[in-house]
Amino acid sequence: MKRGEGRMNGLRTLGAVVTVAVAAVFALTAIDSANAQDRKSIRWATSSVDSYGYKVAASMVKILEEALGGQYTVTVNPYPSTTGAMKATMDGDGEIGYTADVGMTQLYAGEGGFKDYKAGKGLLVHAWYSYPMESFMATSAKDAGKYKCWGDFSGKPVFYTTAGFMNWLNFQRIYKTLGYQFKHVQIDPKSQSDALQAGTLAGAVAYTTAGRSLASYWKETEVRMDVTVINPCPQEVAKLRAAGLAVVDVDPKEAFSKDVGVKQIQGVPILFAYNVRADMPEDVVYRMLNAFYKNREELAKADPGFTPMAKDFVGMQVQGISANPDIPVHPGLARFLKEHKAWNGKWKISK
């Protein structure tokens, strides 16, 4: 064989190898594309990207996708408020909706942001309750002497967290119970310290997650100024508890980096959830709950907000349903609770 012929044969062999390799790449790409097309979508609607609700959902995506065996692609879609996330899910623009017990109450009562609202696809039902938040009142330390009780803020300009957020709804519920005037001033949360120091706000509602984590914009506020927490007076606490609302203690040292003028913060808790419509397949919700239950200890290590859930995962689901016992329970959650001997026969399962 001549040297030129050998070189040509080698080039033909190399060309054949390259052709096979390219074909293999295209074949794998086609398979991946087909697999991607076969995967179903779960859109997880939350509040804004700087909220704790968004942070939690984003951290759960991998766990949920693995729990569902790679059959679903989970995406987190933020909305301006929790109420907005709820409506998006109920109108068919999401499959999981960020909410809380107080939001579920207003939804089914047709009150507040849900007055005259008609869901495009279906109402949310109980599915997964994940962590508590405690709402309380604070003001500028230099003006703290003006306020002794929550009633002193009645009718005065207050930032009750972003309108439509569940802590905002919580204080609407609190004020309705106490008979106070709710005068909300909407601001950019990042400008809160400026508004408090200027006196354009009498106070602002703060909140902790599981009695520990302070909202990020509140961390910025306490760095820029001195704040004082104003607790409800004993008669206010008595009236709230008589109406069925809890009042709990929060250690200020767990939440704030400096003194806020009280030995114990008193707040009214709400229980946050990621609920679904009744048309979500039973097996999806059941597998989701089992995955989160299995990973509860690791979740609490990664984020202290999950500590209460890790301590009593099943009990938190019971507590969430019990806050609104007339609202239907998703079949997947009902199945999970029955297996853990925690189902109440008085509850109804959604259809």
User: Taking 90 as the threshold, does the pLDDT of residue 317 lie above it?
Assistant: yes
Reported confidence tier of residue 332, pLDDT bands at 50, 70, 90: very high
Q: What is the pLDDT of residues 170-228, one digit of tens each?
A: 999 999 999 999 999 999 999 999 999 999 999 999 999 889 888 889 999 999 999 99
Q: If residue 283 lies in a helix (H) or strand (E), which one and from where to where?
A: helix 282-294
Q: What is the pLDDT of residues 49-107, one digit of tens each?
A: 888 889 899 999 999 999 999 999 999 999 999 999 999 999 999 999 999 999 999 99
pLDDT attached to residue 244: 80
Global pTM reads: 0.76
Q: What is the pLDDT of residues 94-106, one digit of tens each?
A: 999 999 999 999 9
Tokens 């390799």 belong to residue: 21
Q: What is the dihedral of CA 212, 218, 219, 220, to 10 degrees?
A: 170
Q: What is the pLDDT of residues 229-266, one digit of tens each?
A: 999 999 999 999 998 888 999 999 999 999 999 999 99
CA separation, residue 68 to residues 29, 46, 103, 282, 285 (Å): 23, 20, 28, 12, 10
Residue 303 token pair: 């984020």
CA separation, residue 57 to residues 51, 75, 98, 207, 253 (Å): 10, 9, 9, 19, 27
pLDDT attached to residue 302: 87
